[in-house]
Chains A and B, each alone.
Chain A
């Protein structure tokens, strides 16, 4: 019972990151958030709640639940709270929020980023559930074929997300505000988020896999392999958009790559779900 509840919540969190990451890397959202009045904050939370009720009627983040109105209303409260937690966590990890800022700035940013994150929770089932017949198909694949398919999906997702974030200023702005040791935190967060998404998407039902599925067979090795691929693709897209070139210092290259690696690995996880 506790296990299943925990699974459902992780499922919601995975959805929040998948849907929320692009807006977490948008400067305009931080700025608009800094300048929200309390009335607007409450209004936005209210609107998000209404949208969540609608989403929970359709998909939601719980695996087995009846679609009663009471449940949808209660699930939406949880989805909103999960969205707020994810927004808060991400803003702290990306150093967009720290405790020397004014309270209304902190709250405004959290509330505004809560909107996409909470919507992501509400759509978690739609974003993450794989069809059952897909599994059988996958198990018949050979070791190398399975590895190739998963690696390809990761590259695809990492590139799509990387392409949309690499040319923007956000990477530089975030990288510039971080002390070097903070990069470890971002790496840890990237691995953790990627793990949650992977685990939820493929192993959430605790079905033991019977046959080899290539290098991506266990959640842990899948997470690490996909993170490395995502870092490489983050580096490549940064180079393509001239964010880094021959004159860039090694420290800055590392900074940028790890900062972009976070959305890229989330995109990579999404890409594996798509193929």
Chain B
């Protein structure tokens, strides 16, 4: 075994950097905690671009969860005339957004979009 050694300058420097990094991490978590709300999931939808592939129209949509709590199995339904298309998003954390695509057989510029349900993760 080595004899007792004092901490070297290098060790102090890395300890200082480590403390700094961890305080940043803990500080960020604290900030999250302070600003955290408890609102249940709520959604907003935005339509993106439409791509035509053969006879079909691909409509890109963005689903945003404006609540604080996460939602699972978020189901989005789009309606054009009589045609319905739907897509399910596995997990949508609070204040996060996710893109998805709905496919229709006619031009979905006037599509009506709605989130019709979700479950607690």
**A, B bound:** yes
What mask results when residues 1 to 43 of chain B are scored 1 for a CB within 8 Å of chain A, else 0? 0101101111101110111011001101110110010000000
**Listed stretches A73-81, A178-186, A204-212, A227-235; interface member:** A73-81
- Interface stretch, picked from B53-61, B89-97, B105-113, is B89-97
- Tell whether, in the assembled complex, residue B21 and residue A42 are in contact, meaning their CB atoms are under 8 Å apart: no
- Least CB distance, B16 to chain A, in whole angstroms: 10
Q: Which residues of A from 33 to 78 have beta carbons under 8 Å from B?
A: 34-35, 37-39, 41-42, 45, 64-66, 71, 74, 77-78
User: In whole angstroms, how far apart are the Cα atoms of A107 and B14 in the complex?
Assistant: 23
Which B residues between 80 and 101 are near A, CB-CB below 8 angstroms? Answer: 91, 93-96
**Contacts A45-B26, A105-B96, A107-B32: A5 and B18 contacting too (C-beta < 8 A)?**
no
Smallest CB separation, A89 vs chain B (Å): 13
Q: Would you call B102 an interface residue if the criterion is a C-beta within 8 Å of the partner chain's C-beta atoms? A: no
Given A2-B10, A34-B70, A34-B91, the answer on whether A78 and B29 have CB atoms closer than 8 Å is no
- Which residue from chain B places its CB closest to the CB of A66 in the assembled complex? B4
CA distance in complex: A34, B70 (Å): 9
Label chain B's interface by main secondary structure. helix
Binds B, one of A96-104, A218-226, A260-268: A96-104
A interface, how many residues as a size bin? Answer: 35 or more
Question: Is A158 positioned at the interface, with any CB of B under 8 Å from its CB?
Answer: no
Which residues A1-30 have CB closer than 8 A to chain B? 1-2, 4-6, 9
Q: Give the distance in Å from the alpha carbon of A39 to the alpha carbon of B36 in the complex.
A: 11
Q: Is residue B48 contacting chain A, with contact meaning CB distance below 8 A?
A: no
CB distance from B51 to the nearest CB of A (A): 19
Known contacts: A1-B9, A38-B36, A107-B29. The answer to whether A81 contacts B17 by CB under 8 A is yes
Query: Would A81 and B29 count as touching, CB distance under 8 A?
Result: no
User: CB-CB < 8 A to B13: which residues of A?
Assistant: 5
With an 8 Å Cβ cutoff, the count of chain B residues facing the other chain is 31
Distance from A77 Cβ to chain B, minimum over Cβ atoms (Å): 5
A110 to B32, CA, bound (A): 14
B117 within 8 Å of A (CB atoms): no
Instruction: Write out the residue numbers on chain B whose beta carbons fall within 8 Å of the beta carbon of A31.
Output: 91, 121
Residue of B7, B18, B26 most packed against chain A (CB within 10 A): B18
- Residue on B with the closest CB to A103? B32
Asked whether, in the complex, the Cβ of B8 is within 8 Å of the Cβ of A77, the reply is no
Cα A101 to Cα B70 in complex, Å, equals 13
A34 vs B18: C-alpha distance in the bound complex, in angstroms?
Answer: 25
Say whether A35 contacts B29, CB under 8 Å: no
Distance to closest chain B CB from A161 (angstroms): 27
Interface residues of A (CB under 8 A from B): 1-2, 4-6, 9, 31, 34-35, 37-39, 41-42, 45, 64-66, 71, 74, 77-78, 80-82, 84-85, 101-105, 107, 110-111
Q: Offer 24 A-B interface pairs, CB within 8 angstroms, sorted by A.
A: A1-B8, A1-B9, A1-B10, A2-B10, A4-B10, A5-B8, A5-B13, A31-B91, A35-B91, A35-B93, A38-B29, A41-B29, A45-B25, A64-B5, A71-B7, A77-B15, A78-B18, A80-B18, A84-B21, A102-B95, A103-B32, A104-B95, A107-B29, A110-B25
Binding site for A on B (CB under 8 A): 2, 4-5, 7-11, 13-15, 17-19, 21-22, 25-26, 28-30, 32-33, 36, 70, 91, 93-96, 121
